[in-house]
Structure 1
Amino acid sequence: MSSRVARLAVAPAVLLLLAACGTNKTEAGGSNAASCDTSKGNLVVGVVAPLTGSVSAVGLGIQNATALAVDEANAKCAVKGYKLVMVGEDDQATPQVGAQAASKLAADDTVIGVVGTYNSSVAQAVQPILAARKIPQVSPANTNPSLTVGDNTAAPKRQFDSYFRVCATDNFQGPYAADYLVTKAGKKKIAIVTDGKTYGKGLAEEFTKRATKDGATIVDTEQVGEKDSDFSGVLAKVKRAKPDAIYYGGEYPVAGPLSKQAQDLGLAVALMGGDGIFDKKFVDLGGKEGDLATSVGAPTDQLQSAQDFVKAYTAKAYKDPYAAYGAFAYDAANAIIASTAKTLGDNGTWAASMRDALVKNIGSYTASGATGPVGFDHYGDSTNKVLTVYQVSGGDWKAVQTGTATS
């Protein structure tokens, strides 16, 4: 997911809130095999994600999947001489809180890397804090292109050498959605509604560019607030425009009720969104039959490469499902762990001064992961551009198309 807000600095008043944020910290370490030497101590794999609040279903899946990767690595004595510990920090899907969480992790020299964030607006606050300490950040879910290449995609420039992601970006996801909705589903009159945040706004812009190129007409453009609950005013305007589909840029807490209220007002057209609405909670909150969403990667439960991950996650009996980004978090954590093992070798002793080498090793990391091939280009973006269109059918999401996207 994403957001393109001005880069945030951590104000002194914000730093005073660190202790409060700490009440949401979650730790997990797993058990090492009896033969593992852990005499050199602990190394931390951090997580920054929304662990409470309206999108916590996604954040908890990210945290649990990271914990799984840590537990498996410890069982295999993956990092010689050390026990890995997962430390989760709740960013509450809020940039300032994310900055607090990043500052806490950045102050710890034993942190080898951070899995996160989910929201791109939060990433913009977190990136400079972790980069200042050369701490690698591997996101399972940020999709806004500017995080890696800057705001001018025509003249891309890498923003932070320490930042990577294992998911495709919105300049692929938006066009992929538009091609499906306009060319395959035949929707030619589309209303755009966004929540005004970086992710939703940016994704809708990418969708709009391709949709108009594909021959559609954007008949109305509206904005709602992420905390709004009554959309009657906006939907009345949308209805007057007579669209045959609505494209929503935002997340499921708004998208579900928006879809239901549209139908209640007699606007019985499909609502489509991006990965931000691809969660069962969208349906629970009012998402209707026929609604559509795109999400990165192929369906986890259908990927042969993900079967071991799904089996291991299920065996852990986590309270929360792995959700849309659990498999991606698992791959992100393994990129950090494997690259740490490579950096240290069999006899190395960790020091924060080794982070430059660690970042370099993550940049050259390749593997067959739960989500398929894992690797990074010279901007830190995923080399895997697979995307899937899902449709609500029988009260749940069903994959209807999977393919490799082009921007």
Structure 2
Amino acid sequence: MRQRSLIAITAALAAGSLTLTACGSRDDKGGDSGSGDKTTVVIGVDAPLTGDLSALGLGIKNSADLAAKTANEQEYVEGIEFKIEPLDDQAQPSVGQQNAQKFISNKDVLGVVGPLNSSVSQQMQKPFNDAGLTQVSPANTGTELTQGDGWKTGNSVRPFKTYFRTATTDEIQGAFAADYLYNQAKKTKVYLIDDQKTYGAGLAASFKENFTKLGGKIVGSDHVNPDDRDFNSVVAKIKKTGAEALYYGGEYPAAAPLSQQLKDSGQNIPLMGGDGIVSTDYPELNKKAAGDLGTSVGEPVEKLESAKKFLAGYKAAGYSDPYQVYGGLTYDATWAIIEAVKLAVEGNDGKLPSDARKVVLDNMSKIKFDGVTGAISFDEFGDTTNHTMTAYKIENNTWAPAFSGQPKVG
């Protein structure tokens, strides 16, 4: 990987001995008014750090932490010491909104990475936009977050200039999933279920539209509560339809028992879902997960030459939780903010400008670097320009990549 992405993690980082230098707050002219020789820049991280989705959230937190530590170890931005401030949103929109205000009130926060859930992001976008605070999500896929509700009729309008993401949209993910299931898995009759949340409902709708365009048939549909764990009634409905697969718009805590109860009923058909089910916890929660399918954004980092240093650095740092499916995307989201800070400092005679939030936001449109997941840049909507998707299949109790590509939308 070239210099503008990852730099080798040193033994000091591996031993966890990297310490942040003392620093003070900025004065009105920029720079550091404290006694230390570096200025602290805080990057907020919002994710579910407790609860059912904490496996994904902790992977996000750790991967952002690794990016900040790497920038510090390398002294990537002269005179700047990065630190992350992680807040737990519990996957609850109301908590995410409260966290947004906490980030906004801390003048040292120049960007926020997260959240995991699109429904949480919907409550954070406007406060961040009003405050001019940059937000980059590694996981949100709801298309309307960047293109507004009009995207469905071809009238895409960016609602919030402060919002960016390294994950691609459900418009793309739904099309990819439909194409894979119809043309490669050869499934023509599908039962459709969603959890009624922003992410799940949007993904299911995109899948349905694209699957039927290909010639597939939706033989039945239903909605479930994401907190439910008993799905025997809906499983009975599926059995009567002759479905060859079940597509689920939602996340792994409900998808895993739904799949197992489906198999327990004698229906040996795969459950397929989006990136919300591609977690290491899924096969642990589902003893009959073999053959289930999931899609996720980007190529698997384990196969990317560009991710080798990220993988080595994550292992060396000794994090107790795996980076999960959003690890590389989180590192790239964090590094995008670091790059924007670097441009701000370089454009202000080597000091952080007093209007740093504005300058960092202005610089986001200029960001272009080689990241963990590939080339990183953002289009006019704040969406990633990398539309690669991967289909995974549960084999030997783990998610194994089956196919990667870029779908044709619609």
TM-score greater than 0.5 by the shorter chain: yes
Give how far 1:30 is off. Answer: 4.5
- 1:143 aligned to which of 141, 144, 159: 141
Alignment-derived partner of residue 311 in structure 2: 310
Give the secondary-structure state (helix, strand or coil) at the position aligned to 1:190: strand
Alignment-derived partner of residue 394 in structure 1: 396
Q: Is the CA contact (8 Å cut-off) linking 1:29 and 1:71 kept in structure 2?
A: no
Alignment-derived partner of residue 354 in structure 1: 356
Deviations 1:257-296 (A, max 9, x none): 0000001111110110000000121111115111000000
Q: Is the CA contact (8 Å cut-off) linking 2:173 and 2:297 kept in structure 1?
A: yes
Alignment-derived partner of residue 219 in structure 2: 219
CA–CA separation in structure 1 for the residues paired with 2:115 and 2:371:
19
Alignment-derived partner of residue 171 in structure 1: 171
1:246-325 to 2 correspondences below 5 Å: 246-286=246-286, 288-325=289-326
- 2:19 aligned to which of 28, 31, 37: 31
Q: Is the CA contact (8 Å cut-off) linking 2:40 and 2:83 kept in structure 1?
A: yes
After superposition, the Cα gap between the structure-2 partners of 1:105 and 1:33, relative to the gap in structure 1 and judged at 3 Å, is closer
Q: Is the CA contact (8 Å cut-off) linking 1:48 and 1:117 kept in structure 2?
A: yes
Q: Is the CA contact (8 Å cut-off) linking 1:289 and 1:393 kept in structure 2?
A: yes
After superposition, the Cα gap between the structure-2 partners of 1:29 and 1:79, relative to the gap in structure 1 and judged at 3 Å, is farther
Alignment-derived partner of residue 232 in structure 2: 232
Give the secondary-structure state (helix, strand or coil) at the position aligned to 1:277: coil
Q: Is the CA contact (8 Å cut-off) linking 2:44 and 2:86 kept in structure 1?
A: yes
Alignment-derived partner of residue 7 in structure 2: none
Give how far 1:297 is off. Answer: 0.3
After superposition, the Cα gap between the structure-2 partners of 1:80 and 1:205, relative to the gap in structure 1 and judged at 3 Å, is same
CA–CA separation in structure 2 for the residues paired with 1:402 and 1:55:
25
Q: Is the CA contact (8 Å cut-off) linking 1:31 and 1:75 kept in structure 2?
A: no
Give the secondary-structure state (helix, strand or coil) at the position aligned to 1:330: helix
Alignment-derived partner of residue 18 in structure 1: none
Q: Is the CA contact (8 Å cut-off) linking 1:31 and 1:74 kept in structure 2?
A: no
Q: Is the CA contact (8 Å cut-off) linking 1:109 and 1:351 kept in structure 2?
A: no
Q: Which moved more, 1:219-228 or 1:79-88?
A: 79-88
Q: Is the CA contact (8 Å cut-off) linking 2:89 and 2:99 kept in structure 1?
A: yes
Q: Is the CA contact (8 Å cut-off) linking 2:143 and 2:169 kept in structure 1?
A: yes
Give the secondary-structure state (helix, strand or coil) at the position aligned to 1:89: strand
Alignment-derived partner of residue 371 in structure 2: 369
Code of the residue aligned with 1:204 in structure 2: it is A
CA–CA separation in structure 1 for the residues paired with 2:162 and 2:17:
24
CA–CA separation in structure 1 for the residues paired with 2:389 and 2:142:
15
CA–CA separation in structure 1 for the residues paired with 2:321 and 2:83:
20
Alignment-derived partner of residue 68 in structure 1: 66
Q: Is the CA contact (8 Å cut-off) linking 2:194 and 2:222 kept in structure 1?
A: yes
CA–CA separation in structure 2 for the residues paired with 1:75 and 1:217:
54
Alignment-derived partner of residue 114 in structure 2: 116
After superposition, the Cα gap between the structure-2 partners of 1:358 and 1:29, relative to the gap in structure 1 and judged at 3 Å, is farther
1:162 has 2:168 as partner: no
Give the secondary-structure state (helix, strand or coil) at the position aligned to 1:152: helix
TM-score norm. by structure 2 comes to 0.89
CA–CA separation in structure 1 for the residues paired with 2:368 and 2:82:
21
Structure 2: runs of 5+ lacking an equivalent: 1-15, 23-31
Give the secondary-structure state (helix, strand or coil) at the position aligned to 2:381: coil
Give how far 1:353 is off. Answer: 2.1
After superposition, the Cα gap between the structure-2 partners of 1:29 and 1:44, relative to the gap in structure 1 and judged at 3 Å, is farther
1:94-113 to 2 correspondences below 5 Å: 94-113=92-111
Give how far 1:406 is off. Answer: 2.4
Alignment-derived partner of residue 3 in structure 1: none
CA–CA separation in structure 2 for the residues paired with 1:139 and 1:95:
15
> % of aligned pairs identical?
42
Q: Is the CA contact (8 Å cut-off) linking 1:330 and 1:370 kept in structure 2?
A: yes
Give how far 1:167 is off. Answer: 1.3
CA–CA separation in structure 1 for the residues paired with 2:132 and 2:250:
31
Give how far 1:250 is off. Answer: 0.2
Code of the residue aligned with 2:89 in structure 1: it is D
Alignment-derived partner of residue 344 in structure 1: 345
Q: Which moved more, 1:69-78 or 1:197-206?
A: 69-78
Q: Is the CA contact (8 Å cut-off) linking 2:291 and 2:394 kept in structure 1?
A: yes
Give the secondary-structure state (helix, strand or coil) at the position aligned to 2:352: coil
Give the secondary-structure state (helix, strand or coil) at the position aligned to 1:227: coil
Code of the residue aligned with 1:114 in structure 2: it is V
Q: Is the CA contact (8 Å cut-off) linking 1:51 and 1:92 kept in structure 2?
A: yes
Alignment-derived partner of residue 50 in structure 2: 52
Alignment-derived partner of residue 91 in structure 1: 89
Code of the residue aligned with 2:358 in structure 1: it is D
Give the secondary-structure state (helix, strand or coil) at the position aligned to 1:276: coil
Alignment-derived partner of residue 380 in structure 1: 382
Q: Is the CA contact (8 Å cut-off) linking 1:66 and 1:333 kept in structure 2?
A: yes
